[in-house]
Amino acid sequence: MQPLTDLVKGIEVLEPFLTQHGFEFENYENGQGSGGEFTLATFVSGRKKIIINYRFSIGQVIYQFDSAKVCHDFYLDQLGLADKKNFPDFDSEDKLIAFTCLLHDFELLINDFFDGDCRHLEVFSNLQDNVILEYGGKAREEYDLNLDKDRIEEARQKFKNKDFKRSIEIYRTVEIRGLLNDLDSRLIDFCERHF
């Protein structure tokens, strides 16, 4: 069965609930990502939007109110409903299972999102943005740290191979200077004297 056919059948599972809560289908949009082609199905009700990302199964569901956005799992986790959600984090042979599980989880969001004023969604959106920024910053710091450790190892190896010029050049690229120990200081001094 083709992915788009599966998506259309899955949307049929969700539509009665969405229509009952004032949501109308807006459009399908195809895109290309690192994992291949995907389709976004969007539903709208006034200032609210639901975006379903589908490849071979539902990949992600985004809830939006004005510019505030939050993903499905984060939303339910922050509401304290992690143990009640059914939406699977696995791909099943039965492509409709993800839609029936999502439909179950929609029921958990009636008060805040579907019939509510999205007060929690707005708070969680800011929290999610902060988590992403913090993780992104930490990921960048970790990357820089590992990169500098690799540079130090490479500089030491060049020194062992008596390539003092290249060793000192690599040492000069180390940005986190606190990673350099006494051995590195002695190697740098030696390279500077013999280069």
**Contact indicator for 114, 75 with CB cutoff of 8 Å:** no
- Of 12-21, 72-81, 180-189, which one has max mean pLDDT? 12-21
Query: Which secondary structure element, helix H or strand E, spans residue 92, and what is its range?
Result: none
pLDDT at 135: 65
pLDDT at 1: 35
What are the residues facing 41 on neighbouring strands? 28, 52
Give the domain ranges of the chain: 3-117, 135-194
DSSP tag of 83: T
pLDDT band at 177 (very low <50, low <70, confident <90, very high): confident
pLDDT at 2 over 60: no
As a whole number, the mean pLDDT across the chain is 86
What are the residues facing 32 on neighbouring strands? 37
